[in-house]
Amino acid sequence: MSNEHFQGKYEVELKYRLESKTDFLNVLSFIPHEIMLEDNLESDCYFDTADKLLSRQNKSVCIRTMQPSGIKLWIVKGPEVDRCEATNITDAESARSMLETMGYEITLKATKTRSIYFVDKFHITVDSLDDIGDFAEFAIMTDDESMLSAYKSDLEALASEFGLTESALQTKSYKQMFMEKCEEKSV
C-alpha cells in the first residue's frame, strides 16, 4: 500500500455519480494505474454527542474497518470542507469503546464496497452503496493549503478523461446520503 497517497491534513475530493461502473472501470483499464485494493467491504461507525455537537460544528468522527484487507482507520473530517485526517489503528473495537466511554454515541452504521486505484499522485475510489448507487471519488491529500485550488483543477481534468462532467458531481457526503436513506426508511 502506498501510504504517501493518504498523508496530509487536507483532502481535495471530487465525487461523481456513475451511470455505469463497468464503463468507468473499462476507461480505467486504459489509463496507467496501480491497484491498492478491490472490492473491500467497508464498515463505518459514525460518532457524535447526544446533542449532535460535532454535526453542528460540521465535524465527523468515524471508525472504519475494511475486509478482506484488514485495514482499520480512525477518521476525522471538518470543520472545513477540505479538512480530513485519518490514522491507522490496530483495534477498532477498543477505539469504538473509548469513544463511547468519552460520551460519544454511534449515530450511523454504514457499509459500502470500495476499490482504490492510484493514478499518478491521485487516488480514485470506486464505491457501491446499496440502494444508493455507484460513485467515483477523485482525491489527493496534502498539508499544503495553497495547493487546494490547483489540485481541484487537476482532479477535474482527470475526471473528464472518464467522461465525467459537473452534472454528475455530488456535493453530499456518503454520511449524508446514508442518513437520508435511513430517514426515508423510517417514514
Could you give the CA distance from residue 161 to residue 137 in angstroms, rounded to a whole number? 14
Domains in the chain: boundaries: 3-182
Q: Choosing from 10, 16, 46, 174, which is the catalytic residue?
A: 46
Task: Tell me the whole-structure pTM to 2 decimals.
Answer: 0.84
Look up the CATH number of domain 3-182.
2.40.320.10
**pLDDT per position in the chain (187 positions), as tens?**
455 667 778 889 999 999 999 999 999 999 999 999 999 999 999 999 999 999 999 999 999 999 999 999 999 999 988 888 889 999 999 999 999 999 999 999 999 999 999 999 999 999 999 889 999 999 998 889 899 999 999 999 999 999 999 999 999 989 889 988 888 777 6
The verdict on whether 16 is a catalytic residue reads no
Beta bridge partners of residue 34, listed in sequence order: 118
Residues written for the chain: 187
DSSP label at residue 82: T
Encode pLDDT of 110-146 as tens digits.
999 999 999 999 999 999 998 899 999 999 988 898 9
Written as nine digits, the cell of 177 is 446520503
